[in-house]
Amino acid sequence: MAKLIYISNVSLDGYIEDEHGSFNWTAPDDEVFAFITDLVRSVGTHLYGRRLYDTMAVWETDSALAAQSELMGDFADVWQAAEKVVYSTTLDAVSTAKTKLERNFDPDSVRDMKASATSDLTVGGANLAAHAFKAGLVDECHLFIAPVLLGGGKPSLPSGTRAELELLDERRFNNGVVYLCHRACL
């Protein structure tokens, strides 16, 4: 069975965006960007909330972005190769290929996806990930912790949900970002 992996850039105090919705502090340097690209290279399906999908869709809809560097072109190719599922009650249509629109998050449907998938899935967007955590669907949590304090904003991890985790991997990057990979203990 495939794993469902939560991947997130997070501030040291646990937020994915500041109180104004900005996440400009998450822009990775080349070392981190290459690592993230390799991390998601084998992912078959990305599950997104609407806001993260809108943010990520530029990797297909803006060809100038991929043309900026070899690293960015590689990431664009990796992102475009994967299937995407967007969960939104307000989005009228998707703007990218290999993308399915779902109105509601259905834990049983995600369980079925995991059971039938030949490669891992990711879940992105803190609100969507919270539903997956609460349903016990997240198998691994990969956090890129940035050396910044935001003092408030949108939390990366859900409140009111307890999970025991086992550290699988860690890495420190030259720009001060720390990568932590944990497996959920079932």
Instruction: Give me the DSSP letters along 38-61.
Output: HHHTT--EEEEEHHHHHHHTHHHH
pLDDT tens readout for residues 29-57? 999 999 999 999 999 999 999 999 999 99
Kindly indicate the confidence band of residue 186, based on its pLDDT and cuts at 50, 70 and 90: low
pLDDT tens readout for residues 91-112? 999 999 999 999 999 999 999 9
* Domains in the chain: boundaries: 4-179
Please state, in angstroms and rounded to a whole number, the distance separating the CA atoms of residues 19 and 22. 7
In 3D space, the residue among 161, 118, 123 whose CA is nearest the CA of residue 142 turns out to be 123
pLDDT tens readout for residues 107-128? 999 999 999 999 999 999 999 9
Regarding the domain delimited by 4-179, which CATH topology (the fold level of the hierarchy) does it fall under? Dihydrofolate Reductase, subunit A (3.40.430)
CA angle 80, 82, 84 (to 5 degrees): 95
Residue 144 has pLDDT above 90, yes or no: yes
